[in-house]
Amino acid sequence: MTPGTPTLRIPARLTAPDPGWVMSADVIVVGSGIAGLTAALRLRQRVDRVLLVTKTVLSEGSTEWAQGGIAAALDPEDSADEHLGDTLVAGAGVCDEEAVRILVSEGPARVRELVGLGALFDRGPDGEISLTREGGHGRDRIAHAGGDATGKEISRALIAALRAALIAVKEDPGIEVIEHALVVDLLQDRDSRVCGVTLHVIGEGQNDGVGAALARAVVLATGGIGQVYSSTTNPSVATGDGVAAALRAGAVVADLEFVQFHPTVLWLGEGASGQQPLLSEAMRGEGAFLVDRDGVRFMAGVHELADLAPRDIVAKAIVARMARTGADHVYLDARHLGREFLEKRFPSILARCRELGFDPVSELLPVAPAQHYASGGVHTDLVGRSTLAGLYACGEVSNTGVHGANRLASNSLLEGLVFAHRIADDITSRLSAGELTSADPVVVGADSTLVAGDERTAVQRAMTLGAGAVRSAESLAQAAKSLQAIADSAPGVTADPDSWETSNLLHVGQLLTAVATLRKETRGGHVRSDFTVRDDAHWLGHIQAVREADGSITTSFHPVTPHGPVRVHSPVTAHRPVTAHRPVTRSDAS
Ligand SMILES: Cc1cc2nc3c(=O)[nH]c(=O)nc-3n(C[C@H](O)[C@H](O)[C@H](O)COP(=O)(O)OP(=O)(O)OC[C@H]3O[C@@H](n4cnc5c(N)ncnc54)[C@H](O)[C@@H]3O)c2cc1C
């Protein structure tokens, strides 16, 4: 480390008022997307007291925005092995093959259970679920609902099942749901075991303001980090709260540099920010194609799957084409698919485009890549356990290893479903074995911080310019510097939901920038303009990061070969990349 270079420090918790009330449950599930709802519903069948808390309303989250569908080898001609092969290719060498095997082999049964629960998937004339193809898939294996409203239908079915359970247990409050409940931090006992959460509830009566909820296990299902960037397909709740809280508590966070930028997000002009409309990959699956501003199709020479190449390849090709033509977008051409087909197959996309003044039936649609999915997150094993006792992570917040460096289209809803089941089953058996006992939370030191809500745009701008779709050592150093300046401007900030979320964006952004600086190659969702090729000799593996007791971050490199040596890096500095190739032992880390 250069003398005078500040070390990246992440505080132990966010500044918040002391809890004014306490409640308890056996298991707390945080978040109500496909991951949280599935986990809560399955836990409810086996555990006495489940508490589901969610930041706004039950339906809010990325799940309800999912358009394309859910991938599963449901066609008799298809197989789990083929799905596995496609997933491994998209993951660019760093998927956890065992996790992928679980995903693809348990997936079909989980999707059928979803149908049993009431989810209405689109069906063909033979009554079978219709399957379509998306980028990176070698077969038609994407089940969809309402044409392009798959997430909405899945969310509707899961919430309906939850409401039915709530009515059924009116006399026996075995499952409790609290909406408008923002989890601020994790509570831990003196051995760092997670035993609850602090949360801010906008409610009435007793449970209003900041309180504490205690439990024997906590399942984080808080979704993605999209709002870390200026432009994203993710809804406003996707502020990385789960990753940030787990990091502060000392859980291992992995693969955070692998951020998927969706290639075809409707381009609404310079300066458009926040959640942007997505034009599903399924449009290209049905025959739409990309052209540049001169009308030239440019994907054919780039990849054998042309317009259906994996997302990172398409996004990279678009960025290169934009640079070559001097344009800030390219176009998606779906006109030849015809009015009748487009209106039936993509009703929501058509309605949204038309609302915004574009008609896919008669016009080219301007598109550019925008943040879409976080492949990294809270590192878990194959039953969703994080590295902290008592803490599980599920869905987009987690890093199970199934996505590697780049998620294959429509595998994320499936991941939420499959691993939520595994988590619920693991918690159930551990509770019955008496392994997860209740514990008393302790407050460790006064290491807390906050940044003001009005710094949000500055964080997003720093991340977009410095750690966006294409990065370099220079851009990342600038991002790290800008983020540190925001962190240093913190004192005197009022604790409220806006400052908690903005602080989470900052912490996720700082860590993402640090690990993206370390990885000196281009792989999957991590694209470097100064290291443009994949470098398997040095980087075939995962960067894990953990917060040490003094707030510094230690990173380590874990090769994909099962028993390869682990390299532990020095604490990450804020302004200067740590040399990542020099293997250092843990005792070397200062
Ligand atoms: C536009 C769009 C289209 C997509 N299309 C597809 C697709 O076709 N197929 C596919 O497989 N995937 C798709 N994805 C990705 C997929 O939708 C998500 O990865 C998946 O839905 C994530 O589910 P989840 O349950 O992990 O999180 P979410 O559905 O995002 O739910 C997270 C929940 O956590 C809550 N929460 C967050 N922070 C807190 C907090 N601090 N306290 C309490 N609650 C909190 C949120 O309010 C929300 O309820 C798409 C995503 C987007 C944005």
- Expressed in angstroms and rounded, the spacing between residue 475 Cα and the centre of ligand 1 is 29
Report the interhelical angle of 150-168 vs 411-432 (nearest 10°).
Answer: 30
- Residue 451 · residue 489 · CB < 8 Å: yes
| Tokens linked to 578 | 């740590």
- Expressed in angstroms and rounded, the spacing between residue 255 Cα and the centre of ligand 1 is 18
Return the C-alpha torsion angle 453, 454, 455, 460, nearest 10: 90
CB neighbours (10 Å) of residue 270?
Answer: 7
| Tokens linked to 227 | 């709002």
Q: Rounded to whole angstroms, how far apart are CA atoms 497 and 236?
A: 13
Mutation to probe ligand 1, out of 38, 57, 63, 394 (largest number of atoms < 8 A from CB):
63
The label of the residue with tokens 């397909």 reads 233
Cα–Cα separations (whole angstroms), residue 401 to 264, 404, 542? 25, 6, 9
Write the DSSP string, 364-401. Answer: -EEEEEEEEEES-EEE--TT-B-SSTTEEE-GGGEE-S
Mutation to probe ligand 1, out of 104, 239, 413 (largest number of atoms < 8 A from CB):
413
284 tagged catalytic: no
Q: Which residues line ligand 1 (CB under 6 A)?
A: 30-36, 53-56, 60-63, 65-70, 150-151, 181-183, 221-224, 233-234, 237-238, 241, 278, 373, 395-397, 410-413, 416
**Measured from the CA of 239, which atom of ligand 1 is nearest?**
38
Residue 459 sits at φ, ψ, to 5 deg, of -60, -50
**Across the strands, what pairs with 366?**
331
Q: What's the gap between Cα 75 and its chain centre?
A: 28
Q: CB under 8 Å, gap of 24 or more: what pairs does 549-557 form? A: 549/250, 550/9, 551/9, 551/10, 551/11, 551/12, 551/447, 552/7, 552/8, 552/9, 553/8, 553/9, 553/10, 553/511, 553/514, 554/586, 554/589, 555/514, 555/515, 555/518, 555/580
Residue 57 sits at φ, ψ, to 5 deg, of -105, 165
Q: Rounded to whole angstroms, how far apart are CA atoms 182 and 14?
A: 13
Give pLDDT, residue 3: 45
Altogether, the residues listed in the chain come to a count of 590
E strands of 76-130, at which residues? none
- Expressed in angstroms and rounded, the spacing between residue 237 Cα and the centre of ligand 1 is 9
Q: Rounded to whole angstroms, how far apart are CA atoms 264 and 288?
A: 11
Give pLDDT, residue 582: 32
Q: How many CA atoms lie within 13 A of 385 on its CB side?
A: 12
Exposure pattern of 367-387 as b/e (b: 16+ CB <10 Å)?
A: bbbbbbbbbbbbbbbebbbbb
- Expressed in angstroms and rounded, the spacing between residue 582 Cα and the centre of ligand 1 is 37
Q: How many CA atoms lie within 13 A of 189 on its CB side?
A: 16
Taken in order 304, 309, 310, 316, the sign of the CA dihedral is positive
Q: Rounded to whole angstroms, how far apart are CA atoms 73 and 109?
A: 10
Q: Rounded to whole angstroms, how far apart are CA atoms 145 and 61?
A: 18
H or E element at residue 473 = helix 473-488
Tell me which residue of 443, 415, 407 sits closest to 525, measured CA to CA: 407
| Tokens linked to 88 | 């491994």
List 156, 311, 407, 547, catalytic entry: 311
- Residue 253 · residue 247 · CB < 8 Å: yes
Task: Name the residue with the closest Cα to ligand 1, atom 13.
Answer: 66
- Expressed in angstroms and rounded, the spacing between residue 234 Cα and the centre of ligand 1 is 8
Task: Name the residue with the closest Cα to ligand 1, atom 5.
Answer: 66
Mutation to probe ligand 1, out of 87, 122, 197, 222 (largest number of atoms < 8 A from CB):
222
Mutation to probe ligand 1, out of 218, 237, 280 (largest number of atoms < 8 A from CB):
237
- Residue 290 · residue 330 · CB < 8 Å: yes
- Expressed in angstroms and rounded, the spacing between residue 60 Cα and the centre of ligand 1 is 8
**Across the strands, what pairs with 176?**
51
Return the ∠ at Cα 221 (arms to 217 and 225), rounded to 5°.
Answer: 135
**Measured from the CA of 63, which atom of ligand 1 is nearest?**
21
**Measured from the CA of 232, which atom of ligand 1 is nearest?**
53
The label of the residue with tokens 């739409």 reads 288
Give pLDDT, residue 579: 34
Collapsed DSSP state (helix, strand, coil) of residue 409: coil
**Measured from the CA of 223, which atom of ligand 1 is nearest?**
27
DSSP type of residue 190: T
E strands of 31-96, at which residues? 50-53, 70-71
**Measured from the CA of 235, which atom of ligand 1 is nearest?**
53
**Measured from the CA of 224, which atom of ligand 1 is nearest?**
30
pLDDT tens per residue across all 590 residues of the chain: 444 456 899 999 999 999 999 999 999 999 999 999 999 999 998 899 999 999 999 999 999 999 889 999 999 999 999 999 999 999 999 999 999 999 999 999 999 999 999 999 999 999 999 999 887 899 999 999 998 899 999 999 999 999 988 876 665 568 999 999 999 999 999 999 999 999 999 876 667 899 999 999 999 999 999 999 999 999 999 999 999 999 999 999 999 999 999 999 999 988 788 999 999 888 998 999 999 999 999 998 899 889 988 788 898 899 889 988 889 899 999 999 999 999 999 999 999 999 999 999 999 999 999 999 999 999 999 999 999 999 999 999 999 999 999 999 899 999 999 999 999 999 999 999 999 988 899 976 668 889 999 999 999 999 999 999 989 999 999 999 999 999 998 667 889 999 999 999 999 999 999 999 999 999 999 999 999 999 999 999 999 999 999 999 999 999 997 555 667 766 675 444 333 333 222 222 22
pTM of the entire predicted model: 0.93
Give pLDDT, residue 309: 87
- Residue 448 · residue 13 · CB < 8 Å: yes
- Expressed in angstroms and rounded, the spacing between residue 221 Cα and the centre of ligand 1 is 9
Task: Name the residue with the closest Cα to ligand 1, atom 10.
Answer: 410
